[in-house]
């Protein structure tokens, strides 16, 4: 009767421990979301564990069964993939005499048989998914976070004195501490294989409650191999260890030495799977945000716990790459007098767009503004190139260039204004420009007209070419005094006859008596402008002689008497006047690029030039020199007596 009563009492304990676990097993469906990865924002990804009502991994889920809740707003997932991951396992050995019981037929102890099963299983694991193994006992860790090969070596070398050890929960506590450390890889599951005999502790069930709580808090699955004689399978400790396994998602196997061991992979295969999800965030503000997932399972809907994550979100920052801050428009080189076409007619502008928050994302629009007006816009690739139409600019002026970029989140930002100078050089106009433009036609026309005139003269016979003999006879006649013409003059009674012979006149005065032409000597230049390079080297160009009282520099031949052909020179750029005291005063005529002396702009009232000054008309550089340089007095050196 006592044996029957003890058996019934043990069964009542087992049922009492198993009923809560069984009730909990009916509601073991869960969804666990790992910390989100925002490195590729706005694409957010994370690992997700989903377990069904039976506590087994819910393999084969479809993307439409999962939705993301971001700041309370549901968002469909872009992808849901199921992948394999390694396992973090701790084998905890609760040393006791029953583990050393030997099989008479093989002389192997129960623990040696367990070691063979675990070694074979660990060696069969694929190398591409290396598990993390640890081995602990009451005395502490034996192997800590090792690979399969090192685990097998340590397991075979583990030969404690089982007969002198007293079973307790110390190895289980060390195992929970070891596996609770941070896993080496996201998505890795934690598990403990607890190998234990029975214990005589009557309070074993309440003693295990803290361990169950710690395992649940850290998502640790505990599997129990209860190794002892079959008479202990109905003890209080067996029921308590079974409850430990069921409440933490594991199971218990009883081994007396005769039972067939289950494949350990049957325990752990469901723990080697994890889902990866990704979705496109709709956040537009930086700061802290919340994230969770809802999963539709056949047994009902489950939701993960809400987690917080922080993200930095800033609008894109565009800025233009201008190759030059000045654009010069002028007539084509092959048609310099064409006033209807000015080149260039367009300007390509490239931009760079950076993301200060470090999250690269697509652009949806870029816009080019010139003087606050839309000049060009891109709504498709390429977003970094613009075309600026210059045909409307017929006069020089400064223009403000601004670009704007809009990203896939709808965030936009404009760049700082960049000033660009557009210089327009109009072709020369007036009579001189007209003559220069049609000089080729006029030249051919003049030649044709001259030819026609000569042809008409020849036809009319008015042009006669004397022969050589006739020309020689005419010259001899002119030289013979007998053939000279004598002018008759009335004789005066008051004049002697000898005087009358002096009134004979020649037909024409001698060649030596002809009057010389009235040619004035050319005035000598008092100053020169010598063309030089930026480094001061003289260019092989004829210097400009300053002879006139006022010299006007520019590109318009109708208004200037000294043409300086350069894009930076205005139509009427500057004037150089000789003063009454013999000096030279340089004045700017409101040019765009300015007039400079010794790298400084001249004042409004002008600048008095000195010998050796460097003069810039825009980008054209000259050195001003006087014909007679001023005498530079030599310095006088006075030696002072140190004693004075």
Three-class SS of 304-347: CCCEEEEECCCCCEEEEECCCCEEEEECCCCCCCCCCCCECCEE
Mean per-residue pLDDT, 92-99: 95
Query: To the nearest whole percent, how much of the chain has pLDDT over 70?
Result: 81
- How much of the chain exceeds pLDDT 90, in percent? 61
Q: CA-CA distance, 45 to 212, in Å (whole number)? A: 31
- Which residues in the chain are classed under CATH 2.60.200.20? 527-626
The pTM of the whole model exceeds 0.75: no
Rg (CA), the chain: 55
**Nearest one of 14, 84, 25, 32 to 248, comparing CA atoms:** 25
Place 131 in a pLDDT band, splitting at 50, 70 and 90: very high
Kindly report the number of other CB atoms within 10 A of residue 191's CB atom: 25
* pLDDT score for 115: 94
Q: Write out the two tokens for 396.
A: 């020089």
CATH pick for 1-313 out of 3.40.190.10, 3.40.50.720, 3.40.50.410, 3.40.390.10: 3.40.50.410
Which band of pLDDT confidence, cut at 50, 70 and 90, is reported for residue 499?
very low
- The confidence band for 18, taking pLDDT boundaries of 50, 70 and 90, is very low
* Residue with token string 């690739």: 381
Q: Classify domain 317-424 by CATH number.
A: 2.60.40.10
Distance, C-alpha 425 to centroid of its chain: 37
Q: Which of 53-67, 177-191, 410-424, 561-575 has the lowest mean pLDDT?
A: 177-191
As a whole number, the mean pLDDT across the chain is 84
Cα separation of the two ends of the chain: 140
What confidence category does residue 496 fall into, taking pLDDT thresholds of 50, 70 and 90?
A: very low
Q: Where in the chain is the domain with CATH 3.40.50.410?
A: 1-313
- pLDDT tens sequence across 428-448: 776 656 665 666 777 777 788
pLDDT, position 432: 58
Q: Which residues contact 581 (CB under 8 A, 6 or more apart)?
A: none
pLDDT for 472: 62
Position 107 scores a pLDDT of 83
Confidence of residue 618 (pLDDT cuts 50, 70, 90): very high
What CATH code is assigned to 527-626?
2.60.200.20
450-482, pLDDT tens digit by residue? 888 888 877 765 545 455 555 565 566 555 544
Does residue 75 or residue 499 have the better pLDDT? Answer: 75
């Amino acid at each position: 009767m006592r044996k029957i009563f003890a058996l019934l009492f043990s069964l009542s304990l087992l049922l009492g421990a198993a009923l809560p676990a069984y009730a909990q097993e009916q509601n073991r469906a869960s969804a666990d979301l790992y910390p989100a990865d925002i490195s590729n924002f706005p694409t957010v990804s994370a690992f997700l564990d989903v377990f069904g009502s039976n506590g087994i991994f819910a393999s084969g889920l479809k993307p439409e069964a999962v939705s993301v809740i971001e700041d309370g707003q549901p968002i469909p997932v872009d992808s849901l993939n199921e992948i394999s991951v390694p396992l973090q396992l701790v084998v905890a050995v609760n040393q006791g005499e029953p583990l050393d019981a030997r099989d008479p037929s093989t002389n192997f102890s129960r623990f040696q048989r367990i070691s063979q099963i675990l070694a074979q299983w660990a060696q069969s694991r694929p190398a591409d998914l290396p598990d993390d193994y640890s081995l602990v006992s009451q005395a502490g860790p034996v192997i800590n976070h090792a690979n399969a090969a090192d685990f097998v070596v340590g397991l075979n070398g583990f030969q404690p004195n089982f007969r002198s050890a007293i079973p307790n929960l110390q190895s289980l506590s060390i195992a929970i501490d070891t596996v609770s450390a941070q896993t080496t890889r996201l998505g890795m599951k934690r598990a403990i294989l607890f190998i234990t005999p029975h214990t005589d502790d009557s309070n074993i069930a309440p003693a295990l409650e803290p361990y169950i709580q710690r395992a649940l808090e850290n998502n640790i699955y505990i599997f129990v191999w209860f190794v002892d004689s079959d008479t202990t399978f109905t003890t209080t400790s067996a029921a308590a260890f079974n409850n430990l396994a069921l409440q933490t998602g594991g199971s218990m196997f009883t081994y007396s030495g005769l039972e067939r061991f289950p494949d350990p992979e049957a325990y752990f295969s469901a723990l080697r799977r994890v889902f990866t999800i990704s979705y496109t965030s709709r956040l537009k503000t930086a700061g802290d945000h919340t994230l969770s997932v809802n999963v539709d399972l056949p047994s009902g809907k489950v939701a993960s716990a809400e987690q917080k994550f922080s993200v930095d979100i800033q609008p894109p920052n565009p800025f233009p790459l201008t190759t030059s801050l000045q654009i010069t428009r002028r007539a084509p080189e092959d048609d310099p007098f064409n006033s209807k076409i000015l080149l260039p007619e367009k300007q390509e502008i490239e931009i760079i767009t950076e993301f200060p928050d470090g999250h690269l994302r697509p652009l949806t629009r870029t816009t080019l503004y010139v003087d606050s007006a839309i000049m060009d816009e891109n709504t498709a690739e390429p977003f970094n190139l613009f075309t600026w139409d210059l045909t409307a600019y017929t006069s020089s002026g400064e223009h403000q260039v601004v670009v704007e970029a809009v990203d896939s989140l709808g965030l936009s930002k404009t760049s700082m204004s960049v000033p660009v100078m557009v210089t327009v050089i109009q072709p020369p106009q007036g009579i001189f420009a007209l003559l220069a433009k049609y000089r080729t036609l006029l030249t051919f026309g003049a030649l044709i007209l001259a030819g026609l005139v000569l042809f008409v003269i020849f036809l009319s016979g008015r042009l006669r070419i004397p022969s050589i003999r006739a020309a020689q006879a005419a010259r001899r006649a002119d030289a013979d005094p007998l053939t000279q013409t004598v002018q008759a003059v009335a004789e005066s009674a008051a004049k002697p006859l000898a005087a009358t012979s002096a009134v004979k006149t020649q037909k024409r005065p001698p060649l030596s008596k002809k009057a010389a032409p009235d040619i004035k000597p050319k005035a000598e230049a008092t100053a020169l402008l010598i063309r030089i390079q930026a480094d001061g080297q003289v260019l092989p160009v004829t210097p400009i002689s300053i002879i006139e009282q006022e010299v006007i520099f520019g590109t318009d031949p109708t208004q200037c008497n000294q043409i300086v052909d350069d894009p930076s020179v205005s139509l009427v750029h500057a004037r150089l006047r000789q003063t009454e005291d013999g000096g030279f005063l340089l004045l700017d005529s409101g040019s765009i690029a300015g007039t400079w002396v010794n790298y400084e702009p001249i004042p409004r009232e002008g600048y008095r030039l000195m010998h050796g000054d460097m003069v810039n008309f825009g980008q054209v550089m000259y050195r001003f020199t006087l014909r007679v340089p001023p005498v530079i007095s030599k310095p006088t050196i006075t030696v002072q007596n140190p004693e004075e």
